[in-house]
């Protein structure tokens, strides 16, 4: 059997909608400046009834800037965000789709929870007005794969298209699966990432019931998300989308693309221990980190920056710290680590994709965004979390890891591109 030739995969376009700004470049500048996108919830009526009253909402977004008004009405906010981020990635990557074989251009965009707003609205219609008044677009609007479906329809691309659905690892899984398609030569270019638009009463009530969100800073929202800090008490729900243009290096060079970096590894695994709590030993995540390092043929001491999942929950941040010590050994103390969730909140299924874009930008700029709201050291979290101020540092290799409900663990490794 002939050996399959593997292709190198590069990042050539970045697009995002975030709680910090309505595009990636402004979001990036806000991150470096230590800005915070967390505030009092405005999208949930009667928020005073809820134990958590803060969120990282997308502000001032008009979906009709990217979609026809009729398409907007028929789809959920998570799809609106995805289309906007994909269009921005298309523009940032200077991709001329008319010059592409559209059968070889794919879309792998996932959502962790899908159309929660649609579920909430149509449930009210069902119980208030009866089954005949429920919209015929309900199912298409709420299923998580529709974001990628609408992006493909809007862009007219017919390559691989499906949705990763793995809670908070969704965006990272989508990028990893796109990497596999491109490595195997089954596509030339893929729009990959994650999207989420679940800040509404239904979603908020469900997360509050889990007691997973921060409640100690309702009166001081900008301090609520505090990764690795000793007073962290839960995550802050966020929303938005991140989409990367990934393509084979041959395709990128042939069209003269600007290349941010190379994606060199994708590791994935599972704790297999609990539906929501991570493996506190860090052993399961460490195994995924080691797997990614082995695939990339990169020694632990070659990694310059880790963009941590860093959700600001007591268990997650301890789990990650332990995993870094296990996977990197003594080098863990020399790593520059940061979590941007103090600024963006937890964008759920979009988090991994947005954070992958941050890694790409760190490589080309030599700037590491800070972990904000770090005020009270936790003796159990004792690594360099790049706290409360941007760091300038040459970044040749950046790693992003994400954890998700269900025990999912993912690691992506990006490296400075060398032709």
- Angle of helix 351-365 relative to helix 24-32, nearest 10 degrees, comes to 70
CA distance 410 to 171: 10
Residue 156's CB is within 10 A of a number of other CB atoms, namely 10
The token pair at 311 is 């959700």
Say which of 7, 80, 173, 309 is annotated catalytic.
309
Q: Please identify which residue in the block is written with the tokens 């697009």.
A: 15
d(CA 401, CA 164): 16
Inter-axis angle of helices 314-328 and 283-296, nearest 10? 40
208 is a catalytic site residue: no
Of the residues 36, 52, 168, 381, only one is catalytic, namely 168
DSSP state of 50: S
Please confirm, yes or no, whether 7 is among the known catalytic residues. Answer: no
How far is it, in rounded angstroms, from Cα 214 to Cα 211? 8
Decide if 408 is catalytic: no
Choice among 346, 359, 381, 408 that is catalytic: 346
Cα-flanking dihedrals φ and ψ of residue 170, to 5°?
-55, -55
Q: Is 392 helix (H, G, I), strand (E, B) or coil?
A: strand
Alpha-carbon span 8 to 389, nearest angstrom: 34
80 contacts 67 by C-beta, under 8 angstroms? yes
Burial class (CB in 10 A: 0-12, 13-18, 19+), 136: exposed
With 0-12 CB in 10 A as exposed, 13-18 as middle and 19+ as buried, what is 235?
buried
As annotated, the active-site residues are 168, 309, 346
């Amino acid at each position: 059997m002939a050996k399959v030739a593997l292709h190198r995969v590069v990042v050539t376009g970045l697009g995002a909608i975030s709680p910090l700004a309505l595009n990636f470049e402004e979001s990036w500048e806000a991150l470096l400046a230590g800005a915070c996108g967390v505030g009092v919830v405005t999208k949930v009526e009667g928020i005073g009834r809820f134990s958590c009253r803060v969120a990282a909402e997308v502000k001032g977004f008009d979906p009709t800037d990217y979609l026809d008004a009729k398409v907007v009405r028929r789809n959920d906010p998570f799809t609106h965000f995805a289309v906007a981020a994909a269009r921005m990635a298309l523009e940032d990557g200077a991709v001329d789709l008319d010059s592409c074989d559209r059968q070889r251009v794919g879309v792998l965009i996932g959502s962790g929870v899908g159309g929660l707003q649609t579920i909430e609205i149509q449930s009210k219609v069902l119980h208030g007005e009866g089954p005949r008044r429920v919209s015929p677009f309900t199912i298409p609007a709420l299923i998580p794969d529709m974001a990628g479906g609408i992006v493909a329809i809007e862009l007219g691309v017919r390559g691989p298209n499906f949705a990763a659905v793995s809670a908070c690892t969704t965006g990272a899984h989508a990028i990893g699966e796109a990497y596999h398609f491109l490595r195997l030569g089954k596509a030339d270019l893929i729009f990959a990432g994650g999207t989420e638009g679940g800040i509404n009463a239904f979603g908020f009530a469900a997360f509050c019931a889990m007691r997973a969100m921060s409640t100690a800073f309702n009166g001081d929202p900008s301090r609520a998300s505090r990764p690795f800090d000793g007073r962290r008490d839960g995550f802050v729900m966020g929303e938005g989308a991140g989409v990367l243009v990934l393509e084979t290096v041959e395709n990128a060079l042939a069209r003269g693309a600007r290349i941010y970096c190379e994606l060199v590894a994708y590791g994935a695994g599972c704790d297999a221990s609990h539906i929501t709590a991570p493996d506190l030993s860090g052993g399961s995540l460490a195994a995924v980190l080691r797997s990614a390092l082995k695939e990339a043929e990169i020694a632990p001491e070659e990694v310059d920056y880790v963009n941590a999942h860093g959700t600001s929950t007591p268990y997650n941040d301890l789990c990650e710290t332990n995993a870094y010590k296990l996977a990197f050994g003594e080098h863990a103390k020399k790593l520059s680590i940061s979590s941007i969730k103090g600024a963006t909140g937890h964008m759920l299924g979009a988090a991994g994709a947005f954070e992958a874009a941050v890694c790409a930008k760190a490589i080309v700029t030599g700037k590491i965004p800070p972990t904000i709201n770090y005020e009270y050291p936790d003796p159990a979290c004792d690594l360099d979390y790049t706290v409360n101020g941007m760091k300038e540092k040459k970044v040749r290799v950046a790693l992003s890891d994400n954890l998700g409900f269900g025990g999912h663990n993912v690691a992506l490794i990006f490296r400075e591109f060398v032709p």
